[in-house]
Amino acid sequence: MARIKAEFIRLKFIMVAVFFLCAKTYILYKMGFRIQSENVLQEILLIINPLSSTVFLIGISLLFSGKIRNIMVIVTSLLATCTLYFNLLYFRFFSDFLTWPVLFQTSNAQDLQGSITELTKFSDFLLLLDIVILTFLVLKNKIPVHLKGKREPVILLAVTGLLFFINISIAQLERPQLLTRAFDREMLVKNIGIMNYHVYDAFIQSQSKAQRVFAESSDIDGVLRYRNENYKEPDPDMLGIAEGKNVIVLSLESLQSFVINETLNGEEITPFLNSLIEESYYFDNFYHQTAQGKTSDSEFLVANSLFGRDSGSVFFTHAGNEFNSLPEMLNESGYYTSVMHANNKSFWNRDMMYLSFGYNTFFDINSYDVNEENSIGWGLKDEDFFEQSIDLLKSQSQPYYTKFITLTNHFPFELGEEDKLIDEFDSNSGTLNRYFPTVRYMDHALEVFFDRLKEEGMYDDSIFILYGDHYGISEYHHRAMSKFLGKEELTPFDHVQLQKVPMIVHIPGHRNEINHTVSGQIDIKPTIMHLLGMDTKEDIQFGSDLFSLERQSFVVLRDRSFVTDDLVYTKGSCYLKKDGTEIELEKCDPYFEKVNLDLDFSDKVLYGDLLRFY
């Protein structure tokens, strides 16, 4: 008994540090990451899942002796706190947890400073409270100095292993086949803990890296069979209808469909886009399919009709792959291809990926005159961006395919008073409140751009593809969104519906048509190709022409949620699309096979770099 008491005294400081870190993690689960428990077992898991990783991290100090041991307790606690905080900042905007590919996207860091400032709160300093207390105890010599025990490292590993075994056993009872569901990061954090999740994520990422090494040319055979089975013939009335015309693609930053044809305080939020829809083909059941790569994911989907990664950005991890991209195919058909985006060329690793896609030119920030008067937030204001792009368009040989990427409607949605054409919303979310003026400004900038094209005689010889690249208002702001939408609260079904983004095909002189087919960004490439009269039968694509009379009204999202004409599936539940009523899961069963085949075959192409064999 005396020996146990002596050991307790020796480890008391470490045990206090473990308690602080576990308590801090649990509080962040509930208040920062807003993780909800559906039953008592889930709540128990939230309480115990930080234990194994915390004991291991803090226990590293047992490898040291004397004063160094106590200092290492503080250092490891601080490192763990930093990990928690970086996840918290990321979650506040993306409603997701960090992955290793995201952490290595360091070239984006310099452009994120304004966003990080917006995401930081004064109360965040409370996360350092335990570090301050532990440091105070050490500096005041309240903690005795101990020599390193010979058996302590072995005991540490044994205790860590036992705690993790208990954790994973309970988690498997709550969620069978848990570790096969790496696409649901919240579920992993909820069950095995945030630190263990990062270890697991590292394992998954290393697996994906290995797939290219072991890929063989025969691996593409199954992909080709699946493509042939799912090919959809184009609508003969639309095939080649824009042959020889210039193609202007407008990637509209953070634009979601809930603002289209809506008003705020009696004023239209997007008056120009509303009027453009009246003389365009508009797809009102169109969803973004991006994950952590956001804008870069949408670019990848549009260029390749392949899915991006479920974590990180494919622009960083697979820029060296072989692609059969839309720009490359248009080059072969006599088009000049370019991107216009007034940002650093290295952001999202665009300079490298655009080479792989085969673009002729990337007009980056160095092609524009950017100064304090014409920039705000992330850079050059949209109206100035479009105005300065006119001469760049003129410099290109025709026909050309040019993609524009806007900037102003980017989180944290900053805008000068002189450019606010509509009032802010009134809610508890400053992010949502500011979103409406920046959307309205982007809409105005688009109107100016179209007017300038008409003045310059460049409008009639072009077709226009406009789409929202990803959501702007994350799940973190659901309470405020429910106020705007006039609902008491938003369900997982509502969240999926908020992933709708505008999709407009504008061909000057053509009729207006509202198309209700359920679709997504993966369908844009085959649609453009067919409008230009190009054959897609031999191309490996996972989307289908939006105008095809044979297409299945269906979209799969990157987190394996899916939407049909009648159903919505997300987070393990099945809903009726017409009213959001939750129904028995079996109603969604017929679609799971296609969801898995679409995503798994696309991943196989990406991770194995299979197009090098094609």
How far does Cα 370 stand from its chain's mean position? 28
State the Rg of the chain over Cα.
26
What count of other Cβ atoms lies within 10 Å of the Cβ of residue 95? 17
CA angle 42/46/47 to nearest 5° reads: 120
How far does Cα 524 stand from its chain's mean position? 19
- Give the bridge partners for 283, in sequence order: 515
- Give the bridge partners for 25, in sequence order: none
Q: Tokens representing 288?
A: 């973004």
- Of 321, 357, 370, 363, which is closest to residue 338 (Cα–Cα)? 363
Per the annotation, the verdict on 76 as an active-site residue is: no
DSSP string of 102-122, one letter each residue: HHT-GGGGGG-HHHHHHH--G
DSSP string of 468-518, one letter each residue: E-S-SS-GGGHHHHHHHHT-S---HHHHHHTTB--EEEE-TTPPPEEE---
The answer to whether the beta carbons of residues 517 and 551 sit under 8 Å apart is yes
My answer on whether omega of the bond before 176 falls inside 30° of 0, hence cis, is no
| Active-site hit among 270, 295, 337, 402 | 295
Strand 375-376 to 582-583 pairing: unpaired
How far does Cα 266 stand from its chain's mean position? 33
- Measured distance CA(276)–CA(155) in Å, rounded: 69
DSSP string of 464-481, one letter each residue: EEEEE-S-SS-GGGHHHH
Catalytic residues: 295
